Amino acid sequence: MTVPASALPLRPDAAQLGLIAANFLMWGGFFAVIPLVTVHFSGSTAQGGLGWPAATVGVVLGLRQLTQQGLTVFGGAWADRVGPKPLILAGCVLRCAGFAWMGYATTPGVLLAAALLAGVGGGLFDAPKNAAITAVTRPEQRPQMFSLTSIAGNLGMVGGPLIGAALLGLGFRTAALSAAGVYLLAAVVMGVTLPHARPERTPGRSLAGLAVAARNVPFRRFTLVLIGYFILSTQINVAVTLKAIALAGPHATGPLYGLSAGLAVLLQYPLIRLTQRHIPLRAALVGAVALVATSLGLMALAQSFPALLACVALYSLGTMLVFPSQQTLTAQFAPPALVGSYFGFSAISLGVGGALGSVLGGSLVDLGASVGLPALPWLTLAAIGAVTALGLRWALRGLQHPHPGAAP
């Protein structure tokens, strides 16, 4: 009896191990310093902070995020022209320089410049990293590979803040320089392990691939519908965090994030392997989004912190299935020569959805409190999730081939 290739466990080669290790380093380096930016720059001077207005630091971090997400759209298209490796290496070096510069920032202008440089670095390596994963992994094993890189990222997200907090005792500059060094190490790992695949030269402008992705109607629908999901995925940092603090105080964020990241580390890979065997990829994605929506709706009933954590566990099960499914489907939509452009275009859903989710989550919590209807945010988010799940089912109907091309 022949075992389907998708049922075989992935045995990573050097390039794949390098990508997994680099993702761990990137996430760990990022979360070692970014949470400390608010603590250092807006913290009270009595506790060693600079005492800046929180709004100033918030604007800086928001502009960094916008810079990264905006540039990611183009980073993928450039990867189709020069290959993903040079952009990943350049992005790591720029992120290293940005974080190191943050350690020497003493004015808002300098901090903003350093943050924007770090954002440019992230925009250069984000989509090309996904394109590189696609290039070095067989199609039937991509869900496993995307899952493993996601697990590595979650490990970095758990370990990074702990290392950053320990380094903060030595000063913010030490923490920032250490995080910068981690990105240099990631560049070395990528430089040694990742082959430089030179794409075939195709006629046309360097950003023509983005136009091809935008004209691909099924893929465009898929990307736009996913905005609804990213509105939901942002809530772990907004509405869910606000409810956790209301139920258990400011220290509730530790168990909240620990549970979410810990479940992803423990369960994401076996869960992906299980769904690969028994559930079509499209159905898995639709079901995962529906599970996220249901978990948010149930949070309206959570009157204790343990009950909220139970809902967060369901939420995490859904989110850990969405990422590898979405990335694999994006790769399936893309013609082989335009994988980077498709991953770049897909970043629109994260950028728009994340921005909308950040505004909508807090606004809904405030509105629910003001009108005496605390369930309002959760019912609204559940409705957005239900519409998104139905929209994905519609957007993915008839997807029969690895890539439907660029038909208008």
Instruction: Using CA atoms of 83, 85, 90, 96 in order, give the dihedral in degrees to the nearest 10.
Output: 150
DSSP code per residue over 315-330 = HHHHHHHHHHHHHHHH
Give the C-alpha separation, 377 to 386, whole Å: 14
Provide the 10 A C-beta neighbour count for residue 51.
Answer: 11
Give the C-alpha separation, 124 to 61, whole Å: 18
Check whether 7 has a pLDDT greater than 80: no
Sequence-separated (6 or more) residues with CB below 8 Å from residue 20: 12, 148, 149, 152
Phi (first) and psi of residue 289, to 5 degrees: -65, -40
Average pLDDT on 73-91 reads 85
Between 41 and 173, residue with greater pLDDT: 173
Closest CA to 391 of 275, 280, 229: 229
The DSSP output letter for 171 is -
Q: Give the largest CA-CA distance in the chain.
A: 70
Residue 406 is predicted with a pLDDT of 36
Between 276 and 85, residue with greater pLDDT: 85
DSSP code per residue over 394-407 = HHTTT--SS--TT-
Residue 92 is predicted with a pLDDT of 95
- pLDDT confidence of 402, banded at 50, 70, 90? very low
Residue 407 is predicted with a pLDDT of 32
Provide the 10 A C-beta neighbour count for residue 5.
Answer: 10
Mean pLDDT of the chain: 83
Percent of the chain with pLDDT over 70: 89
**Whether the model pTM is above 0.85:** no
Average pLDDT on 127-143 reads 85
Average pLDDT on 371-394 reads 94
Between 379 and 63, residue with greater pLDDT: 379
Sequence-separated (6 or more) residues with CB below 8 Å from residue 167: 32, 174, 175, 178
Q: From the centroid of its chain, how far is CA 31?
A: 13
Check whether 2 has a pLDDT greater than 80: no
Quick: pLDDT tens for 187-212.
999 999 998 876 665 555 556 778 88
Q: Which structural domains are found in the chain, ordered by start? A: 12-196 (1.20.1250.20), 208-408 (1.20.1250.20)
Most confident of 100-109, 189-198, 326-335: 100-109
Give the C-alpha separation, 10 to 16, whole Å: 10
Provide the 10 A C-beta neighbour count for residue 11.
Answer: 7
Buried b (16+ CB within 10 A) or exposed e, 18-28: bbbbbbbbbbb
Taking each helix axis as running N to C, give the angle between helix 339-370 and helix 305-333, from 0 to 180 degrees, rounded to the nearest 10: 150
Contact indicator for 223, 346 with CB cutoff of 8 Å: yes
Provide the 10 A C-beta neighbour count for residue 310.
Answer: 16
Residue 75 is predicted with a pLDDT of 80
Q: From the centroid of its chain, how far is CA 256?
A: 18
Check whether 404 has a pLDDT greater than 90: no
Provide the 10 A C-beta neighbour count for residue 129.
Answer: 27
Residue 383 is predicted with a pLDDT of 97
Radius of gyration of the chain (CA): 21
Quick: pLDDT tens for 48-57.
667 777 667 7
Give the C-alpha separation, 360 to 201, whole Å: 43
Check whether 222 has a pLDDT greater than 50: yes
Structure token digits, residue 25: 């380093």
Give the C-alpha separation, 159 to 178, whole Å: 14
Residue 142 is predicted with a pLDDT of 83
Check whether 403 has a pLDDT greater than 50: no
